[in-house]
Each structure stands twice: as structure tokens, then as C-alpha cells.
């Protein structure tokens, strides 16, 4: 197991690549995105994402950001998930990641490795509570809806109005959202807006301005969505 730390300027990142190691990618300062063939993972500060061995991925950010890596032997991660999964990082896990990334020597002591994997398995119990990933739909009409909404996440059209636009009934689109993304339209739209909110808030934008830009009728409604999704208000999250 080897730890690495990097700082990237605005517009920087890592080009698409694969490697034989399992990887825990931990967000430092700023917001980073991990792009994979199946979708995009947004990794805000104090969050992490698990990337299985031989998974094609790239890392990018709109502004400058920090990144801490743990690269783990594929033999040691055989029983961990075979898909990317978000991690809620406890204080203990955070300190282990930072310690590993601050040394140039591999962490060879078996007791360290065993303890680390025990913590990872505990953290993976919380993956369903972190709506910070967006898969890319395959169906043509749904893909068009999602692509256009991603370009303008303040769009408040109903599912029926979107159906008229892309050539499908609201019922068909609802079924496609559930089948391809395992989310309702409202849930997916909320996830998109949450991701965009994280970017804009990390840039120092006012909460009220971000709420208005993302189509919320009130700042209170936006704050409540943020709190329900991430467990803290925007002010607490970026304190």
C-alpha cells in the first residue's frame, strides 16, 4: 500500500488511465471529479471514492484542488466492491490517508494494512447515503434529457414537458429513469443540482445566489435539500 499526494492548479488533473491497483481517492482542498465510463463522481473535501483495479478513470476540477491517493495491491482488495463507490471519511480514516500520503515509503506493516481495510469496510456501509455520482444513461431520449439538463440545471420543466421535448411520454421517461439510473426524475435532478451547488459554493459564491441560479424558489428550500443530502447545511459543510 502506497500513499501519494498531489496539488493541481485550475484546469489541471489526470488524463484517462488504468492501473492494476485498487485506489482510495480522497479529496483535499477544492472539488474534484472522477470520470469513468459509467459516470462521474464528485468528490468534495473530506470525502473519498473507491476505484477498483483496472477501472478506466480520469480526474479533473474546475478550480485548483488537492488529491490524496492510496494505491493498494489487487490481491489485497479481491473482496472489495468491483464498482466505484463513494466513502464517508471518518476522522480516523482521514488521518490514516493523510499519514500514508505524507511518506514516500510503502506501508508494509501487516497490522497497519489490516486495520485500514477494517476501516474501509466499515465506511462502505454508508455508500447509499452519498448521492455524489451520476451515471450516464444509454437510452437515446433519456440521454438527451440528461445532457440538456446538465447544461442548464436551473431548468424547472416537468417530466411531461421534457417528454414533449424529447419525444416520449412522462410515463416512459419515468420508467427509463428507474430502469437505467435507479432514481426517479426528481431524485436525479436533485443530485445534479447538489453536485453543481458543491462546485459553486466551493468557489465562494453566496448560498442565496447559488439557490437562485439552480432554480430554487427559496434559499430555505435549497438549504434543506443540502442538509438532507449531506447531513449539514452549506455553511456547516464549508466551515
What integer pLDDT is reported at residue 128 of this predicted model?
A: 45
What is the average per-residue pLDDT within 57-74?
Answer: 87
Average pLDDT, the chain: 85
CATH number at residue 124: 2.60.120.810
pLDDT in tens, 21-42: 989 898 877 788 898 887 788 8
Residues 19, 17: Cα–Cα separation, whole Å: 7
Answer yes or no: do 229 and 196 share one domain: yes
The boundaries of the domain holding residue 113 are 2-129
Task: Please report, rounded to a whole number, the percentage of residues in the chain having pLDDT higher than 90.
Answer: 40
Residues 173, 192, 183, 27, CA torsion sign: positive
Q: Which three cell numbers stand for residue 182?
A: 435507479
Instruction: Name the more confident of 47 and 120.
Output: 47
Domain count across the chain: 2
What integer pLDDT is reported at residue 132 of this predicted model?
A: 64
Domain boundary among 102, 129, 156: 129
Domain boundary among 129, 148, 181: 129
Answer yes or no: do 107 and 30 share one domain: yes
Q: For residue 132, give Cα distances in angstroms to 48, 96, 199.
A: 10, 23, 12
What is the average per-residue pLDDT within 78-98?
Answer: 79
Instruction: Name the more confident of 236 and 162.
Output: 162
- Is pLDDT above 50 for 55? yes
CATH number at residue 210: 1.10.10.60
Answer yes or no: do 115 and 153 share one domain: no
What integer pLDDT is reported at residue 158 of this predicted model?
A: 96
Answer yes or no: do 16 and 124 share one domain: yes
Answer yes or no: do 226 and 142 share one domain: yes
- Is pLDDT above 70 for 104? no
Amino acid at each position: 500500500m502506497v500513499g501519494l499526494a498531489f496539488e493541481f492548479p485550475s484546469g489541471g488533473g489526470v488524463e484517462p488511465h488504468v492501473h492494476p491497483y485498487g485506489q482510495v481517492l480522497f479529496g483535499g482542498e477544492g472539488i474534484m471529479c472522477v470520470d469513468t465510463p459509467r459516470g462521474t463522481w464528485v468528490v468534495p473535501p473530506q470525502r473519498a471514492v473507491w476505484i477498483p483495479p483496472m477501472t478506466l478513470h480520469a480526474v479533473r476540477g474546475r478550480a485548483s484542488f488537492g488529491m490524496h491517493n492510496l494505491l493498494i495491491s489487487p490481491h489485497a482488495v479481491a473482496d472489495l466492491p468491483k464498482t466505484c463507490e463513494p466513502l464517508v471519511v471518518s476522522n480516523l480514516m482521514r488521518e490514516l490517508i493523510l499519514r500514508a500520503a505524507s511518506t514516500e515509503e510503502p506501508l508494509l506493516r501487516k497490522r497497519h494494512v489490516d486495520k485500514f481495510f477494517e476501516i474501509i469496510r466499515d465506511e462502505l456501509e454508508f455508500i447509499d447515503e452519498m448521492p455524489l455520482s451520476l451515471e450516464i444513461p444509454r437510452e437515446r431520449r433519456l440521454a438527451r434529457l440528461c445532457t440538456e439538463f446538465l447544461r442548464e440545471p436551473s431548468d424547472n420543466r416537468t417530466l411531461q414537458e421534457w417528454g414533449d421535448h424529447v419525444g416520449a411520454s412522462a410515463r416512459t421517461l419515468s420508467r427509463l429513469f428507474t430502469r437505467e439510473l435507479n432514481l426517479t426524475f426528481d431524485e436525479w435532478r436533485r443530485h445534479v443540482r447538489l453536485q453543481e451547488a458543491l462546485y459553486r459554493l466551493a468557489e465562494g459564491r453566496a448560498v442565496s445566489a447559488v439557490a437562485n441560479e439552480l432554480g430554487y424558489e427559496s434559499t430555505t428550500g435549497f438549504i434543506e435539500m443540502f442538509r438532507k443530502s449531506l447531513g449539514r447545511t452549506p455553511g456547516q459543510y464549508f466551515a
